[in-house]
Amino acid sequence: AGARYRVTAGGWDVSLNYLYSYADFPVPFQRLQWRAGEPVGVMEPAYRRNHLLGATASSVFGDVTLRTEVAWNSDRWFTSSDRSAQGVEKSAEFASVVGLDWQLATSSVVSAQWFYNRALDHQSTMERGENEQIVSVLLQHSWANDAWEFRTLALHSLDYSDSLYQMKLKYWFSSAVELWVGADIFDGTGFGLFGQYDDHDRLLVGLQFGF
């Protein structure tokens, strides 16, 4: 169930949102079970509902678009070292993002964003920090009547100083056939969201057909 109110005033597009729904991913509840005298960890994932209250606002200033979003979630679940809590703990969460989109030309866009979220009921046993901040920069450029497109995205965690760099080059043979090559490069320590994959950089190739 949900509701949304949207209004335009003073050059700003503003929306207020409410949603009561199941989370996209199940909560990974855990417990110990004794089998043949030995403790065995058992995973029992289950979906849980969440109340979301949010607001968005955006406005255009010449070639630049400013975007802001804020949200409050009533029930976020985070993995925990406290096994008596079934390996997860619940907290309300505040999340926000501020973004700038710059239209350099008809075929080029630069976008920068700052993501911030805070676990309002944070516990020391949670396997995430009380605050998390990530900044991103996206560059996208197309040419040759949009037959070619290059896209690069950089994500950097301000908390763990780790990063992810993504690059992708696309070529459209036709409106229905697309060939692309890309790379994901991870950097940082094993404590961070991106750094834990530091030894797993990858090269990707794809061919996509549309019908």
Q: Where exactly are the structural domains of the chain?
A: 55-209
Q: What is the mean pLDDT of residues 134-143?
A: 97
- Report in angstroms the alpha-carbon separations of 106 from 102, 109, 110: 11, 8, 12
Measured between alpha carbons, how far is 91 from 80 in angstroms, rounded to an integer? 12
Q: What is the pLDDT of residue 210?
A: 84
Distance of CA 208 to the CA centre of its chain: 24
Q: If pLDDT is split at 50, 70 and 90, which confidence band does 38 have?
A: confident
**Residue 40 pLDDT exceeds 80:** yes
Q: If pLDDT is split at 50, 70 and 90, which confidence band does 105 have?
A: confident
**Residue 62 pLDDT exceeds 80:** yes
Q: What is the pLDDT of residue 101?
A: 97
Measured between alpha carbons, how far is 181 from 203 in angstroms, rounded to an integer? 8
Q: Which tokens hold the place of 204?
A: 């990707």
Q: Which tokens hold the place of 77?
A: 């679940």
Measured between alpha carbons, how far is 197 from 181 in angstroms, rounded to an integer? 20
CATH assignment, 55-209:
2.40.160.10
- Name the phi and psi angles at 85, rounded to 5: -95, 20
Find the range with the poorest average confidence among 112-116, 150-154, 175-179, 191-195: 191-195
**Residue 83 pLDDT exceeds 80:** no
Measured between alpha carbons, how far is 183 from 166 in angstroms, rounded to an integer? 6
pLDDT tens by residue, 88-100: 999 999 999 999 9
Query: Residues 201, 186: contact at Cβ < 8 Å?
Result: yes
Q: What is the pLDDT of residue 191?
A: 78
Q: What is the pLDDT of residue 36?
A: 82
Q: What is the mean pLDDT of residues 192-198?
A: 89
Measured between alpha carbons, how far is 99 from 66 in angstroms, rounded to an integer? 6
How many Cα atoms are found within 13 Å in the side-chain-facing hemisphere of 193? 12
What's the chain's Rg over C-alpha atoms? 21
Closest CA to 152 of 196, 95, 163: 163
**Residue 138 pLDDT exceeds 80:** yes
Q: What is the pLDDT of residue 73?
A: 97
Q: What is the pLDDT of residue 48?
A: 94
The reported pTM is: 0.85
Q: What is the mean pLDDT of residues 199-207?
A: 95
- DSSP-assigned beta bridge partners for residue 143: 148
